[in-house]
Amino acid sequence: MTHHPRKRFGQNFLIDTHIIKQIVAAIHPVPKQNILEIGPGQGALTAELVASGATIDAVEIDRDLAQHLQQEFIQYKNFHLHCADILKFELAELAVERKTHKLRVVGNLPYNISTPLLFKLFENVNNIQDMYFMLQREVAHRLTAHPNTKEYGRMSVMAQYYCTMQVILDVPPTAFSPQPKVHSCIVHFTPYIEPQIVVADHALLQDIVTHAFSQRRKTIANSLKDFISQEELIGLQLDPKLRAENLRLMDYSNITNYLAKD
Ligand code: SAM
């Protein structure tokens, strides 16, 4: 098929067969599993996923690519194509349809939507067994960053609330066509079955973390003043002079649970 890659859809197709095999081996799909592939593109990962016998739901926004995929995999009863925008796709509905097992979500993600997409997936984490994503290396580092580092931010706190993460593979630009300007990584996300820290109000946690990091150079007394007073911070054993990057997930959770009690 001749397809001119569309920049607006973040189309960098995997062409390195060794890397493709390594990714699929890490995912290790088996029959009866339910796999949701985001952005199958020209089917680089899809072919191997389908061949495993697992049930594959693939969501592709590009109509030309979707048409091609539909033709290519038409004979496989375990392949289901959805020509749709994953950011608008009803994950909960798919989970109900594939109710036998939780979803395994995989994909070489379009980098321009990786942040909103990860947030959407975190909201649906109860329906997800695990996730394997190709991400820009910087995003992978932010996800797994520790407090007191410059990579640590809103994404680190929220991702670490929902999942454990492991970078399993570095992927150079030469593995793609066209080649992206950045390096990539495969990250394995495993949602907590029993959350290690329980927050009563997830939206409030996200709001607090977003506020703190949107003014990360300010003290928390200042950046969080609309939520909590200096005295209350001290009451929670938090120095009001600390900055967003000094607080651990546990600290953000304590602030959230304290405020949620009101
Ligand atoms: N999986 C293929 C591969 O590895 O070669 C393609 C990966 S390419 C980086 C990203 C794919 O996601 C493209 O096929 C693109 O059209 C698709 N895509 C982009 N935005 C999307 C969206 N909002 N919803 C679903 N698919 C999207």
Check pocket membership of 23 for ligand 1, CB cut-off 6 A: no
Check pocket membership of 25 for ligand 1, CB cut-off 6 A: no
Nearest-angstrom CA–CA distance, 251 and 258:
11
39 Cα: distance to centroid of ligand 1 (angstroms): 3
pLDDT of residue 148: 97
Digit-coded pLDDT (tens) for 84-128: 999 999 999 999 999 888 999 999 999 899 999 999 999 999 999
Check pocket membership of 14 for ligand 1, CB cut-off 6 A: yes
pLDDT of residue 3: 84
Six-digit token string for 259: 């405020």
Q: What is the largest CA-CA distance in the chain?
A: 66
Check pocket membership of 43 for ligand 1, CB cut-off 6 A: no
pLDDT of residue 4: 87
Alpha-carbon torsion (189, 194, 195, 196), positive or negative: negative
Check pocket membership of 187 for ligand 1, CB cut-off 6 A: no
- CA 46 to ligand 1: nearest atom: 1
Residue nearest to atom 2 of ligand 1 (CA): 41
User: Of 1, 11, 16, which is best to mutate to test ligand 1, by the most ligand atoms within 8 angstroms of its C-beta?
Assistant: 11
Digit-coded pLDDT (tens) for 121-149: 999 999 999 999 999 999 999 999 999 99
**Per-residue pLDDT tens listing for the chain (262 residues):** 688 888 889 899 999 999 999 999 999 999 999 999 999 999 999 999 999 999 999 999 999 999 999 999 999 999 999 999 999 999 999 999 998 889 999 999 998 999 999 999 999 999 999 999 999 999 999 999 999 999 999 999 999 999 999 999 999 999 999 999 999 999 999 999 888 899 989 999 999 999 999 999 999 999 999 999 999 999 999 999 999 999 999 999 999 999 998 6
80 in helix, strand or coil?
strand
H helices of the chain, in order, are 17-27, 46-51, 63-72, 91-97, 114-123, 137-143, 154-162, 202-214, 220-223, 230-235, 249-260
Q: What is the amino acid identity at position 169?
A: L
